[in-house]
Amino acid sequence: MSKESYYVPDDLKKFGNIGEFQPNLAKKFFDYYGEVFTEGALTAREKSLIALGVSHAIQCPYCIDAYTTDTLEKGVTEAGLMEAVHVAAAIRGGASLVHSVQLMNKVKELGM
């Protein structure tokens, strides 16, 4: 990737360094983050797939890099990885479309 880009792959490794400017808040975040991803009612594998889907919904290249690797390492198939992305896409698309009810309501309110 060009040095002119805002996104640099190596910056993912520096994620932990955000504590340099605000250690207390960073620590709270990473403690929380670590706790979220431990096995619980959901397996670590399920949580990683959710993270992969969310990564695509919020279009975070660092998260996509990290959770593609993580889900591969957790033994998820390529088809499984892509289905997680489609779930994210369906929710994103659905979220736009469901607002069309508001549009229709307004049309009907304004119309004769």
Partner 1 sequence: MKSLKSRGSELVSPERQFQILKEVFIRKNLPSFSEKLIQSGLSALTPAPTKILQMNLGKLCNQTCKHCHVDAGPDRKESMSRETMLHCLSVLAASPISIVDITGGAPEMNPDFRWLVVELRKLDKKVMVRCNLTILLAGDRYKDLPEFFAKNQLEIVSSLPYFEKRRTDSQRGEGVFDRSIEALKRLNAIGYGIPDSGLTLNLVYNPAGAFLPAGQAALEHEFKKSLLKEYGIRFNYLFTITNMPISRYLEYLQESGNLESYLEKLVNFYNPSAVLGVMCKNTLSIGYDGSIYDCDFNQMLEMNVEGGVQNIRDYDADVLEARKIRINEHCYGCTAGAGSSCGGVTT
Give me the residues that bind partner 1 (CB under 8 A), please: 43-45, 69, 72-75, 77-78
User: 9 and 65 in contact (C-beta within 8 Å)?
Assistant: yes
Name the residue nearer to partner 1 (CB basis): 26 or 72.
72
Q: Minimum CB separation from partner 1 for residue 92, in Å? A: 28
Q: Minimum CB separation from partner 1 for residue 77, in Å? A: 6
Helices 78-98, 44-57: inter-axial angle, 10-degree rounding = 50
Q: Minimum CB separation from partner 1 for residue 80, in Å? A: 10
The one-character DSSP state at 1 is: -
> For residues 76 and 51, what is the distance between their CA atoms, to the nearest angstrom?
13
